Structure 1
Amino acid sequence: MTTDTTITEPATARSGAVLSFEDLQVTFGTEFGDVRAVKGISLQVHPGEVVALVGESGSGKSVTSMTALGLLPKNARVSGTVRVGDKDLSRLDARGLRTLRGNDVAMVFQEPMTALNPVLTIGDQLTEALQLHGIAYGKQASARAAELLAMVGIPEPERRLKQYPHELSGGQRQRVVIAMAISCDPKVIIADEPTTALDVTVQADILDLLRSLKDKLDTGILLITHNMGVVADMADRVAVMLKGDLVEEGTTEQVLNDPQHEYTKRLLAAVPHLGNGPGQFGSVAEVSAPARQEAPALDLQNLVIEYQRLGRPAFRAVDDVSFSVAQGEIVGLVGESGSGKSTIGKVALGLMPAVSGSVSILGHDLAKQGGRRLKELRRRIGVVFQDPAASLNPRFPIGDVIAEPMVVHKVGDEKARRERVYELLDAVELPRSAFNRYPHELSGGQRQRVSIARALVLDPELLVADEPTSALDVSVQASVLKMFTALQERYQFACLFVSHDLAVIDTLAHRVVVLQNGRIVEQGPREEVLRKPSEEYTRRLIAAAPVPEPGEQRRRREERHALLKELGEEVAELHVDAATPPSRAVPGAQGGNASRAGGVLGG
């Protein structure tokens, strides 16, 4: 249902909201004039409720959340009312804001490595928050820090207190950030894309933990995300933002199953749905894997890849991996972080050597190629990297970026190259005016289109795409996937598509290869692997992938929990001892700022 932003009574009068925004407007003064980032939105979060604030980059989600912490930069002008509990933030001075952060409102950031101080131990950072707010000191603070780690499901908490952030996995670091957020028993937690940087199974664990947190501690959560599967899994209510406006608000079932605003409909239509297979964006009908060729585009046999470490045994990243990509076929390579996906992609491109095994590209043994023959072979391979901003030369205009492979391989004259670049700009649906623009003048989705155009400029027979859509908004991702499928049909290139997003793989791939810890655990046609997995790891991976429909996601979550119990594993949840709940902070505690998290917990 469409939001009515007219508020007739204070939010705190509405069943005791723990966080409320009333006619919030945020304008940034810049050298190019004023930018209205938030345009008069009203929203409430109640105790024990998860409200998802969704929208694409630039919609104003994070700016809205920062107002609840008083952390906007000095060039921001804020009007309207922001309340945390019964406290009006506009009436608080710097000391009052320091007391508010942590005591009443805390934040869980997207990337835990930037939220944690790399030179302080986990124990130092947890006890800092407790001491800062006058909750506990010395040995008592250390004991409380260990309790918090145990609450969020980190094993051997006393040992972990002495470790540094880099010694923990991504999921464990995010659990530490959550432990810091609940250390002062805040009324509301703002979770800003808390699972974006995590693997799908770790994401499912973190969502279970957050759900347990709001149920057991009655904490309100404002969840900021662009992942509709996460929204379906977590949220009680959904608010949709577009260019600073709140365009729709309602229960999760209402917004996801019966959207009213055209933007919400477009947003949901752009989300790939695991289980729906190819053609989700109207691009192609169901296709079957091409017939095997005598010379596959890529053939890996018994591949072993190791990283040498000074003074220590080599780390084996890939162990005895064998699979092939037929000509004209898309093979999805999936697995969690550290499984060896990107390493295999680098070896397939000839960017790093294998310890043993063979890599054959278009019938040629890569190890036996050298000089001119290797350069000629590389001409037949294209590559699309994960981050287009890092893979495009910022000093080259787009025309030169796309034409560079033709220059390197001495293909055509200047006129022919220009015509080829224009042809590809048309193919990837970019205006020809982009020819003379620079990468920084384009959006993320446009830059990724440029990367794909550059990869196709030499008509490659094999394309290696390493997470090419993971950094994109859902609508941009959908348009890139639609375009990618159309281009593959048109140019008939083979593709090794590396991704951790099973819904994307379901949309594109003919066959799927599943990696775990450098080994293949399962491979076969997409239908068999994603619909009828035979291996335990694949079943866990698929069960953890959220889908953007609340009823189906609820059923999938229950099935996942049943699977974990069947495998003898625990479901991630908050372990709260009723006798020792998190202590409410002492009012008026002094503030400081020793760690990066201090900005949220007291600085």
Structure 2
Amino acid sequence: MTTLDITGTDEPATPGDAVLSFTDLEVTFGTEFGDVHAVKGVSLEVHPGEVLAVVGESGSGKSVTSTTALGLLPDNARISGTVRVGDKVVGELDQAGLRKMRGNDIAMVFQEPMTALNPVLTIGDQLTEALQLHGIAYGKMAMARAAELLRMVGIPEPERRLKQYPHELSGGQRQRVVIAMAISCDPRVIIADEPTTALDVTVQAEILDLLRSLKDKLDTGILLITHNMGVVADMADRVAVMFKGDLVETGTAQQVLTNPQHEYTKRLLGAVPRLGEGVGQDDAGVAHSVEVEHADTSRPALQLDNLVIEYHRLGKPAFRAVDDVSFTVGQGEIVGLVGESGSGKSTIGKCALGLIPAVSGHVRILGEDFGALKKKQLKDLRRRIGVVFQDPAASINPRFPVGEAIGEPLVVHGVGDPASREKRVMELLDAVELPRSFYNRFPHELSGGQRQRVSIARALTLEPELMVADEPTSALDVSVQASVLETFLSLQRDFGFACLFVSHDLAVIDMLAHRVVVLQNGRIVEQGTRDRVLRAPQEPYTKRLLAAAPVPDPTTQAERREARHRLLAELGDEVVELHVDDDESAARKARQEPGAGTSDVMRGTDPHV
């Protein structure tokens, strides 16, 4: 087994003990446009108690490789090579064998817990389903086991949570439920496919603590698929880098992340945004005063005064999402708005766009009181505001070609004639570094990064004075994110627009923002210059946010993790761990031995058997 030691020494893997292995794996998809060679001769192994991270951009073959282990590829896939889960060869199993293997031997934690959970079934029903399907427990014993699983993954009041539905839990709690489902049948290996991408940094750190505890206490092998190099540094023992279906580099986390050999790996690591490397900072991460070329503080582009926003629910008290928030965004300035999910960031952005009303307080945009304007005045003001949403696939009309999508604001506001509009669109395609030939392409023909560039171009169509960007890069690969952010910064310098940039990625905020506003539970806990807030935070909440942000260096990240745990202890917060006693841990490891069955203690009595 290969283990990571922060001093850089490694223990050799024991041959033949792999809980998951791919040998010369080839996957080709037959399509109407010809064959697509998705995976090209990949060989990998995952050993008990080890985390193997598979990294690479979208389309590199990561998820296709992992999906072969579950036998879930579509019918048009042609597979060669050997995939083993324990002592089972996946390609030799029939449907009944595959169904028995899934859950018992191998389980999966998906990227988005809300889509992985059934919204019309309670948490209890979904946890007991797997237990009953695999003959582990039934009836009251299954429900007791489900409560035990929730307790193990750190969910408080598990008996009450079993009766709730997924929408009643937070994102982090839903992901813990998915992890509880994954370990319910004592699998020998878990595939974690981007398990933290949809989570903010503090919840991400908690989930990583939980997964680390899982592999340490239960000796479970984990195949981690991610594009977040900080997560790789925090979790992985070994790393495999994939590029266009090929395995281009493998090694220990220390070797790959600190001394990459392949040019593609070097490019991936070079694209990772890092705290302390933003605009106006030197190589040592020291921030200098950043001159905002187009700044005009005498007339802010956006001014929020004592803003209060509430959501009214039928038969329930109003929920106050934003409470007494005040800050400004100067002309030509980028202000980063950060905080955990549910802190009110996106709600403030929507209010600034006039999409939701404020209960009290004032929103002034470009000197105008938003709440006091009439319909025509509002339309004229909105012409001066641009917006970039988080998911470009959902924010661009799929029936419009790219040229029409970018030029739509010109049509809505009656600007120019068809010829001048086309000219303007071509200029914007040049500005966001997309080929002019994209004018007649449809969104589905573009990659995620290209679609986000189209969204930025559309936001700039009317030359806005204020831009609201809501998590515009969180769904992108690290290299694509770097390219989009570089384009965004260049455009901001050229056009001089003010920007409210909403994000939970502190490294991205550090790269872009001149000032930072930190939100918690709808209230501002800290605000100031980027240097003061990110380098010398005063509030415990800001310190927790910064401590939770991972960095792509295993040694440094191990030190940061220990420092974070010490900080949490000082603040009285609990470090998330898998709560398994020694007897249970030993029993689970015994059940995971090849040929071992499920313990009688775990089984209930099935009245139908």
Q: Same fold (TM over 0.5)?
A: yes
| Amino acid aligned to 2:62 | K
Tell me if 1:402 matches 2:414.
no
Give the equivalent residue in structure 2 for 1:355.
359
Structure 2 unpaired stretches of 5+? 1-12, 599-609
Runs of 4 or more consecutive aligned structure 1 residues displaced over 4 Å after TM superposition: 279-282, 585-589
Shift of 1:15: 4.2
User: Equivalences for 1:20-419 in 2 at 5 Å?
Assistant: 20-278=21-279, 288=290, 290=292, 292-419=296-423
1:324 is paired with a residue whose SS is strand
Residues in 1 aligned to 2:177 and 2:431: alpha-carbon distance in whole angstroms: 46
Q: Deviations over 1:407-452 (max 9, x none)?
A: 2222223332222211111110001111122222211111111111
1:309 is paired with a residue whose SS is coil
2:307 is paired with a residue whose SS is strand
Q: Deviations over 1:187-234 (max 9, x none)?
A: 111111111111211110010011011111111100001111100100
2:40 is paired with a residue whose SS is strand
Residues in 1 aligned to 2:416 and 2:296: alpha-carbon distance in whole angstroms: 33
Residue pair 1:289, 1:511 contacting (<8 A) in 2 also: no
Q: Deviations over 1:1-49 (max 9, x none)?
A: xxxxxxxxxxx98241111100001111122221111111000011111
Shift of 1:331: 0.2
Segment drifting more, 28-37 vs 578-587:
578-587
TM-score, L = length of structure 2: 0.91
| Amino acid aligned to 1:86 | D
1:276 is paired with a residue whose SS is coil
1:579 is paired with a residue whose SS is helix
| Amino acid aligned to 2:336 | G
Give the equivalent residue in structure 1 for 2:444.
440
| Amino acid aligned to 2:165 | Y
Residues in 2 aligned to 1:564 and 1:239: alpha-carbon distance in whole angstroms: 32
| Amino acid aligned to 1:69 | L
Q: Deviations over 1:95-126 (max 9, x none)?
A: 22222111111111111122222222222222
Shift of 1:140: 2.4
Residues in 2 aligned to 1:352 and 1:570: alpha-carbon distance in whole angstroms: 36
1:580 is paired with a residue whose SS is helix
Shift of 1:588: 8.6
Residues in 1 aligned to 2:201 and 2:304: alpha-carbon distance in whole angstroms: 27
| Amino acid aligned to 1:93 | D
Segment drifting more, 194-203 vs 309-318:
309-318
Residues in 1 aligned to 2:578 and 2:418: alpha-carbon distance in whole angstroms: 64
- Which of 480, 485, 492 does residue 489 from structure 2 map onto? 485
| Amino acid aligned to 1:400 | E
Segment drifting more, 479-488 vs 81-90:
81-90
Residues in 1 aligned to 2:46 and 2:351: alpha-carbon distance in whole angstroms: 49
Residue pair 1:273, 1:547 contacting (<8 A) in 2 also: yes
1:312 is paired with a residue whose SS is coil
Shift of 1:281: 13
Q: 1:507 to 1:549 in 2, by over 3 A?
A: same
Q: Deviations over 1:379-434 (max 9, x none)?
A: 21111111111221222222222222222222223332222211111110001111
Give the equivalent residue in structure 2 for 1:454.
458
Q: 1:280 to 1:50 in 2, by over 3 A?
A: farther
Give the equivalent residue in structure 2 for 1:534.
538
Give the equivalent residue in structure 1 for 2:474.
470
| Amino acid aligned to 2:148 | E
Residue pair 1:289, 1:329 contacting (<8 A) in 2 also: no
Q: Deviations over 1:494-538 (max 9, x none)?
A: 101111111110000000001111111110000110111101111
Q: 1:124 to 1:69 in 2, by over 3 A?
A: same
| Amino acid aligned to 1:351 | L
Residues in 2 aligned to 1:373 and 1:155: alpha-carbon distance in whole angstroms: 50
Residue pair 1:21, 1:44 contacting (<8 A) in 2 also: yes
1:272 is paired with a residue whose SS is coil
Residues in 1 aligned to 2:560 and 2:14: alpha-carbon distance in whole angstroms: 37
Residues in 1 aligned to 2:385 and 2:119: alpha-carbon distance in whole angstroms: 39
Shift of 1:73: 1.3
Residue pair 1:154, 1:172 contacting (<8 A) in 2 also: yes
Identical aligned residues as a percent: 78
Residues in 1 aligned to 2:281 and 2:480: alpha-carbon distance in whole angstroms: 14
Instruction: Provide the aligned C-alpha RMSD in A.
Output: 2.0
Give the equivalent residue in structure 1 for 2:435.
431
Residues in 2 aligned to 1:189 and 1:423: alpha-carbon distance in whole angstroms: 48
Residues in 2 aligned to 1:375 and 1:580: alpha-carbon distance in whole angstroms: 64
Q: Which has the higher contact order (CA 8 A, sep 6+)?
A: 1
Q: 1:17 to 1:419 in 2, by over 3 A?
A: same
Structure 1 unpaired stretches of 5+? 1-11, 590-603
Residue pair 2:29, 2:35 contacting (<8 A) in 1 also: yes
Residues in 1 aligned to 2:436 and 2:160: alpha-carbon distance in whole angstroms: 59
Give the equivalent residue in structure 1 for 2:605.
none
Shift of 1:151: 1.1
| Amino acid aligned to 1:334 | V
1:100 is paired with a residue whose SS is helix
Residue pair 1:56, 1:242 contacting (<8 A) in 2 also: yes
Give the equivalent residue in structure 2 for 1:7.
none
1:523 is paired with a residue whose SS is strand
Residues in 2 aligned to 1:64 and 1:365: alpha-carbon distance in whole angstroms: 54
Q: 1:83 to 1:280 in 2, by over 3 A?
A: farther
Shift of 1:287: 5.9
| Amino acid aligned to 1:320 | D
| Amino acid aligned to 1:525 | T
- Which of 575, 584, 592 does residue 580 from structure 1 map onto? 584
| Amino acid aligned to 1:214 | K
TM-score, L = length of structure 1: 0.92
Residue pair 1:287, 1:510 contacting (<8 A) in 2 also: no
Residues in 1 aligned to 2:282 and 2:93: alpha-carbon distance in whole angstroms: 49
Q: 1:399 to 1:13 in 2, by over 3 A?
A: same
| Amino acid aligned to 2:559 | R
Q: 1:55 to 1:45 in 2, by over 3 A?
A: same
Residue pair 1:281, 1:482 contacting (<8 A) in 2 also: no
Residue pair 2:329, 2:499 contacting (<8 A) in 1 also: yes
Segment drifting more, 471-480 vs 389-398:
389-398
Q: How many residues align?
A: 577
2:545 is paired with a residue whose SS is helix
Residues in 2 aligned to 1:250 and 1:214: alpha-carbon distance in whole angstroms: 19
Residues in 1 aligned to 2:317 and 2:150: alpha-carbon distance in whole angstroms: 32
Residue pair 1:103, 1:186 contacting (<8 A) in 2 also: yes
| Amino acid aligned to 2:266 | K
Residues in 1 aligned to 2:259 and 2:98: alpha-carbon distance in whole angstroms: 40
1:374 is paired with a residue whose SS is helix
Segment drifting more, 494-503 vs 434-443:
434-443
User: Equivalences for 1:558-569 in 2 at 5 Å?
Assistant: 558-569=562-573
Residue pair 2:103, 2:185 contacting (<8 A) in 1 also: yes
Residue pair 1:384, 1:451 contacting (<8 A) in 2 also: yes
Shift of 1:84: 1.1
